Amino acid sequence: MATISAVSALVPRLEGKVALITGAARGLGESIARMFARHGAKVVIADILDDLGQSVCEDMGLEVASFIHCDMSIESDTKNAVNATVDKHRKLDIMVNNAGILDSPKPSIIDNDASDFERVIKVNLTVLVGDFSSNGLR
């Protein structure tokens, strides 16, 4: 059994696939991006940390990874990320809605602010939605 899983870990399982991953400039998203690339996928990292995201792509190799600025709380950013990925690669196979934030800790419940709450909800629950109308793929 161990031999089978060791072999399957070496066999590229995402050859030819294109993946768009949010929040992949660091943390779990970065690990997902690196794992996908190791399995043969081209990855697009979408994040608000431009410098970090770009340097992760450079480290991975610009032939396999590219960066796009995308704030998941801004709908036009999410559409732009999808469209830019499809424009670049002419397809999109996998979308990983990984980006997520925590609200800053408040000492008292009455310090909670509606706009902070709404931002957390937006970033954590907004999903990338395909908008392929402008690039001729639909």
Ligand X SMILES: NC(=O)c1ccc[n+]([C@@H]2O[C@H](COP(=O)([O-])OP(=O)(O)OC[C@H]3O[C@@H](n4cnc5c(N)ncnc54)[C@H](O)[C@@H]3O)[C@@H](O)[C@H]2O)c1
Q: How far apart are CA 138 and CA 134, in angstroms?
A: 8
Q: How far apart are CA 42 and CA 75, in angstroms?
A: 24
Instruction: Check: CB of residue 104 under 8 Å from CB of residue 119.
Output: no
**Which residue from 37, 57, 67, 73 is in contact with ligand X, where contact means CB under 6 A?**
73
Q: Which is nearer to ligand X, 22 or 66 (CB)?
A: 22
Q: How many residues bind ligand X (CB under 6 A)?
A: 19
Q: Which is nearer to ligand X, 75 or 137 (CB)?
A: 75
22 beta partners: 46
**Which residue from 17, 29, 65, 86 is in contact with ligand X, where contact means CB under 6 A?**
29
Q: Which stretch binds ligand X (CB under 6 A): 34-42, 65-73, 108-116, 127-135?
A: 65-73
Minimum distance between the CB of residue 86 and ligand X, rounded to whole angstroms? Answer: 19
Q: How many helices (H) and strands (E) does the chain have?
A: 5, 4
Backbone phi and psi for residue 109, each to the nearest 5 degrees, phi listed first: -60, -30
Tell whether residue 21 is a contact of ligand X (CB under 6 A): no
Secondary structure percentages of the chain, helix, strand, coil, to 5:
45, 15, 40
Q: Which is nearer to ligand X, 44 or 48 (CB)?
A: 48
Residues that bind ligand X (CB under 6 A): 22-23, 25-29, 47-49, 70-73, 98-101, 123
